[in-house]
C-alpha cells in the first residue's frame, strides 16, 4: 500500500473522505472543492435535506461522477472529539470505502487543528491528525486474505489531501505510514499458521529484515543458547521437534545515540501448555503467543526507516511449548542465565521463564531502558478485559510517561501494581522461586517473577494477553491480531 500527501486539486482519489461535525457546516477548502464538483448538491444533501446529522462514524456516500465518490464522515460533536474517536471514525470510513467496488485510491481531508480544553486528549494538531489518518485507515482496511480465494484488499493507495502540507505534517504522516506498516507486518505474522511460523522461520525472517534495513543481527541456535547459560528458556522448548532460536537485532543511528533501549517480545510460536496441557478451546488462539516477537520485529523496521537518534536492541527467545516425551516437567528446577533457580510449578506458565533469560541477556547490553511485551497472563483478561493493556514496571516515571504516550497514541492502558509481598505467592522449598503462585493476582505475580531477572532500574512490562486479539470492543480493526501497543511503542521510542 502507498501513502501520499498531496494538494487537494492534485488528488488521484476514486473516493474522497470529508468530515461533518454534528450540526455544523464544514467550510474547509476540501468541502468547497467537493461541493463545487457536485454542483452544490452536497451541501443541499447535508444541510437542507439533513441526510445525516454527523454523529461519530456516521457515513454518507455520494457519487460525484463515475470515477469519483465522496464519503462524508460524521465526527460527532466537536467538543467531544478525542484522538481515539477520530482514529475509530477514520477506520470505519476506510472500511466503508472498501465496500465501494473498484476503489483503488482513497483520499482523506486533513482535519484542522483541534484546540479546545485538553481533557481526554482532545487537542490535536494537523501532524497528529495525519499520523492518525494513515495508521487508522490502514488498520481499518486490514484483512488477512492470503488463504482466501476472494481477495478483500483492493485499495492500493491512501492520500492525505491538504493545500498547506508543511514539514511537520509530512513528518507526522511518515510516522503514521511506517507505524501502519509495522502493524500490518505483525498482524500478518500472527495470522500465519504456527505450522509455518516456527522459531527457525522467525529467525530467517529476522535475517531478511536485517539485510533489508542494514541492521546488526545475531541468531543463537540451541547450542549457543546453552553456552550463554539460558537454560530456563531452553527447558521450555525441549518438548518440541522445532528447535529454539534466540534473536538479537540492533538498530544504530548515524549519530551518537541519545538513549539505548532493549525491546523484548515474547516468542512462543505455539503454546499448547506443555505437560500442563491446555483444554482444546484455550489452545485455539495460541499461535498468537508470539505476538510480542512479531510486534518488536515490526517496530524495528519502522524505526530504521524513521532513523531517530536512539539505539534499539530487539530480542526474542523463540520456542514452542509442547507436551511430549522430552518436555520439561513439573517439579524440574531450572537455572536462569543470572544463576537464579526456578521450580516448575506449571509448564503452562512458560512465557515468564523464556522472558527471564531474555531479560538477563538484555542486562549484558548496557542499555538505559528495558521493555518487554508479552501475551503473558490470562489473568490480565479477568482484571482489565480485552480492550485495555496492563502496564507494570519498576520505575514510576517511566510508567507514567509510557501511559501518557499510549493515550496520545489512541491506545488504552492501565497500570497494575508489583508489590514485594507477592513473593510469598511464589515461595519454593527447593528453588529461589516457583513459576506460578495460585489463582490470585496472576498478572502482578507474573510481573514480580520477571522483576527478579533484570538489573535495569528502568524496566517496563507490557501484558497484552487480553488485547493482542481484537474483538468487538476494538472499533478500529476487524477480529484478529490487533497490532496493539505498536503505535505507543514507536511513539515512546521517538520521544
Residues that bind ligand BES (CB under 6 A): 271, 289, 346, 348-351, 375-379, 436, 442, 465
The residues that bridge with 343 in the sheet, in sequence order, are 333, 434
Decide if residue 14 touches Zn ion (CB under 5 A). no
Q: DSSP string covering 237-271, please?
A: HTTSSSPPEEEEEEE--SS--S-EEEEEE-EEEEE
Closest distance of CB 311 from Mn ion, Å:
32
**Nearest position to Zn ion, beta carbon:** 271
Closest approach, Cβ 271 to ligand BES, in A, equals 5
What's the CA dihedral at 75, 9, 180, 393 to 10 degrees?
-60
Shortest Å distance, C-beta 484 to ligand BES: 12
- Binding Mn ion (rule: CB under 5 A), the pick from 109, 159, 271, 345 is 271
Cα three-residue angle 371-475-114, rounded to 5 degrees? 85
Among 22, 58, 128, 271, binds Zn ion (CB under 5 A): 271
Q: Does 348 bind Mn ion (CB under 5 A)?
A: yes
Q: Which is nearer to Mn ion, 22 or 271 (CB)?
A: 271
User: Candidates 50-58, 263-271, 381-389, 484-492 — which segment interacts with Mn ion by CB under 5 A?
Assistant: 263-271
For residue 67, what is its C-alpha cell? Answer: 470515477
Residue 322 CB, nearest distance to Mn ion (Å)?
A: 11
Gap between the Cα atoms of 287 and 216, Å rounded = 28
Give long-range contacts, CB 8 A cutoff, 24+ apart: 57-63: 57/88, 57/89, 57/92, 57/93, 57/475, 59/92, 59/93, 59/96, 60/20, 61/96, 61/100, 62/38
Q: Minimal distance in Å, beta carbon 348 to Mn ion?
A: 4
Give the active site residues.
278, 352
- Is there binding between residue 289 and Zn ion (CB under 5 A)? yes
Distance CA 345, CA 334 (A): 11
Stretch that binds Mn ion, among 240-248, 266-274, 328-336, 424-432 (CB under 5 A): 266-274
* Residue whose CB is less far from ligand BES, 221 or 285: 285
463 interacts with Zn ion by CB under 5 A: no
Does residue 345 touch Mn ion according to CB under 5 A? no
* Cβ burial 6-36 (10 Å sphere, 16+ → b, else e): bebeebebbbbbbbbbbeeebebebbebbbe
Number of Cβ atoms within 10 Å of the Cβ of 316: 31
Could you tell me the three cell numbers for 36? 463545487
Map the footprint of Zn ion across residues 326-365, applying CB under 5 A: 351
Query: Whose Cβ is closer to ligand BES: residue 253's or residue 385's?
Result: 385
Catalog residues that contact Mn ion under the rule CB under 5 A.
Answer: 271, 348, 350
Catalog residues that contact Zn ion under the rule CB under 5 A.
Answer: 268, 271, 289, 351
Amino acid at each position: 500500500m502507498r501513502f501520499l500527501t498531496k494538494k487537494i486539486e492534485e488528488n488521484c482519489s476514486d473516493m474522497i473522505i470529508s468530515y461533518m461535525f454534528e450540526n455544523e457546516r464544514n467550510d474547509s477548502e476540501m468541502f468547497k472543492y467537493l461541493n463545487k464538483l457536485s454542483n452544490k448538491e452536497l451541501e443541499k444533501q447535508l444541510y437542507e435535506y439533513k441526510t445525516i446529522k454527523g454523529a461519530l462514524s456516521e457515513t454518507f456516500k455520494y457519487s460525484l461522477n463515475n470515477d469519483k465518490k465522496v464519503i462524508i464522515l460524521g465526527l460527532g460533536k466537536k467538543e467531544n472529539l478525542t484522538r481515539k474517536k477520530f482514529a475509530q471514525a477514520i477506520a470505519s470510513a476506510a472500511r466503508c470505502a472498501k465496500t465501494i467496488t473498484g476503489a483503488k485510491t482513497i483520499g482523506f481531508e486533513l482535519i484542522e487543528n483541534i484546540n479546545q480544553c485538553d481533557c481526554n486528549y482532545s487537542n490535536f494538531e494537523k501532524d497528529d491528525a495525519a499520523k492518525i489518518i494513515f495508521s487508522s485507515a490502514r488498520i481499518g482496511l486490514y484483512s488477512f486474505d492470503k488463504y482466501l480465494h476472494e481477495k478483500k484488499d483492493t485499495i492500493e493507495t491512501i492520500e492525505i489531501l491538504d493545500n498547506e502540507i508543511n514539514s511537520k505534517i509530512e513528518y507526522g504522516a511518515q510516522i503514521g505510514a511506517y507505524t501502519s506498516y509495522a502493524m500490518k507486518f505483525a498482524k500478518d505474522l500472527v495470522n500465519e499458521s504456527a505450522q509455518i511460523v516456527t522459531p527457525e522461520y522467525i529467525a530467517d525472517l529476522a535475517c531478511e529484515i536485517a539485510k533489508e534495513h542494514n541492521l546488526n543481527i545475531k541468531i543463537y541456535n540451541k547450542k549457543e543458547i546453552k553456552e550463554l547459560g539460558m537454560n530456563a528458556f531452553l527447558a521450555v522448548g525441549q518438548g518440541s521437534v522445532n528447535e529454539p532460536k534466540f534473536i538479537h537485532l540492533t538498530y544504530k543511528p548515524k549519530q551518537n545515540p541519545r538513549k539505548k533501549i532493549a525491546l523484548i517480545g515474547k516468542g512462543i510460536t505455539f503454546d499448547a501448555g506443555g505437560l500442563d496441557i491446555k483444554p482444546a478451546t484455550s489452545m485455539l488462539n495460541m499461535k498468537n503467543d508470539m505476538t510480542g516477537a512479531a510486534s518488536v520485529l515490526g517496530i524495528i523496521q519502522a524505526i530504521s526507516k524513521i532513523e531517530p537518534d536512539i539505539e534499539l536492541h530487539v530480542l526474542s527467545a523463540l520456542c514452542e511449548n509442547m507436551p511430549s516425551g522430552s518436555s520439561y516437567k513439573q517439579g524440574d528446577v531450572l537455572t536462569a542465565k543470572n544463576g537464579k533457580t526456578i521450580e516448575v510449578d506449571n509448564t503452562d506458565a512458560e512465557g515468564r521463564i523464556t522472558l527471564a533469560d531474555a531479560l538477563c541477556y538484555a542486562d549484558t547490553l548496557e542499555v538505559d531502558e528495558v521493555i518487554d511485551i508479552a501475551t503473558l497472563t490470562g489473568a490480565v483478561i479477568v482484571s482489565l478485559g480485552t480492550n485495555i493493556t496492563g502496564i507494570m514496571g519498576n520505575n514510576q516515571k517511566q510508567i507514567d510517561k509510557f501511559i501518557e504516550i499510549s493515550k496520545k497514541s489512541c491506545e488504552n492502558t492501565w497500570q497494575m501494581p508489583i508489590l514485594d509481598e507477592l513473593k510469598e505467592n511464589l515461595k519454593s522449598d527447593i528453588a529461589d522461586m516457583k513459576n506460578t503462585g495460585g489463582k490470585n493476582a496472576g498478572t502482578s505475580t507474573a510481573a514480580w517473577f520477571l522483576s527478579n531477572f533484570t538489573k535495569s532500574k528502568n524496566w517496563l512490562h507490557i501484558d497484552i494477553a487480553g488485547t493482542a486479539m481484537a474483538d468487538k470492543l476494538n472499533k478500529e480493526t476487524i477480529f484478529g491480531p490487533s497490532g496493539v501497543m505498536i503505535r505507543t511503542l514507536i511513539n515512546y521510542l521517538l520521544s
